Amino acid sequence: MLKSDGGVAAAIAAAVLLNARYVPIGISVAGGFVGNALRRFGEAQLMVDESWAISIGGERFDRRLLVGAGSLIYLAWIVGTALGIVGGGAIGNPNRFGLDAAFPALFLALLAPRLRDRRAFLAAILGGGLAAALIPVARPGIPIVAASLACLVGARR
Amino acid sequence: MSGVWIAVIAVSGATLLLKAAGPVVLAGRELPRTARELVDMLAPALLAALVVTNEIGGDRRYVFDDRLIGLAAAVVAIRLRAPLLAVVVVAAAATALARAV
């Protein structure tokens, strides 16, 4: 990324933009965090797309699930990175096993039960539509942040 | 210090703050009803956006590939009320199969 995008600043901007989605993601579950600010700061770091999605799979946000799943994912990431450095060539591209198809399926499976609610359905259609429309024109990261605007369907008139 | 390390430190620091923003500022605060209703709709909107971007999102372009086979398989599995793990495995397996043939 550093070489292709010309300059350190551009690389930083692109990466920060990619992670900007954690602001709306964090807001969506903020009410479920407990303890002092330092603890909330620490636990919030365990929020990745997958641990967040799993933690909201039930009736309401499960903070312990976020912490558990988030810790596991970080651990797996560290082990995976180490294995990749040591013997990555032996496994080859993990996408051969459809790993890249597993993530959208996970998100869809966790979204599906919410679609029975009419407004949640609208928010999903609008959010997904916004993201899809912006993919070809906006830098990666922006489509997801923009999709949070779809939550406006939540406002009762 | 090389540019790579400056970038790593800057991005890590920014990401720490981006992740903490909601949980640090908003937790334990009683939100007005309208705000609560908006926040409740963030989850479906964001989940749908994650499905779309992980499925067809490239760098300012669409990428349509065998992941779509996996998504179709996932839809079937979800309709059959398969458990979460089964849906994910089915999607990965269908895509892997499509890539193998």
Q: Where are the domains of chain B?
A: 65-101
Predicted local confidence at residue B1, as pLDDT: 66
| Chain A residues near residue B48 by CB distance under 8 angstroms | 111, 123-125, 127-128, 131, 147, 150
**Minimum CA–CA partner of A137 in chain B:** B60
Q: For B69-81, what is the mean pLDDT? A: 98
Q: Residue A53: its pLDDT value, please?
A: 98
- In angstroms, what separates the C-alpha of B6 from chain A's closest C-alpha? 8
CB contact under 8 A, A22 and B19: yes
Arithmetic mean of pLDDT, A9-25:
95
C-alpha separations of A20 from A67, A107, B18, B56, B90 in Å: 20, 18, 6, 19, 31
Question: Radius of gyration of chain B from Cα atoms?
Answer: 19
For residue B59, list chain A residues with Cβ-Cβ distance below 8 A. 139-140
* 8 Å CB contact between B54 and A103: yes
Q: What is the distance between the alpha carbons of residues A94 and A101, in angstroms, rounded to a whole number?
A: 11
pLDDT > 70 fraction of chain A, expressed in percent and rounded: 94
Token pair recorded at residue A7: 């300059």
A–B CB contacts, 8 A cutoff, strictly below:
278
* Chain A residue with minimum CA distance to B38: A154
pLDDT, average across residues A94-110:
94
pLDDT at A155: 79
Q: How far is residue A91's CA from residue A73's CA, in Å, rounded to a whole number? A: 20
- State which residue of chain B sits closest to A10, comparing Cα positions: B7
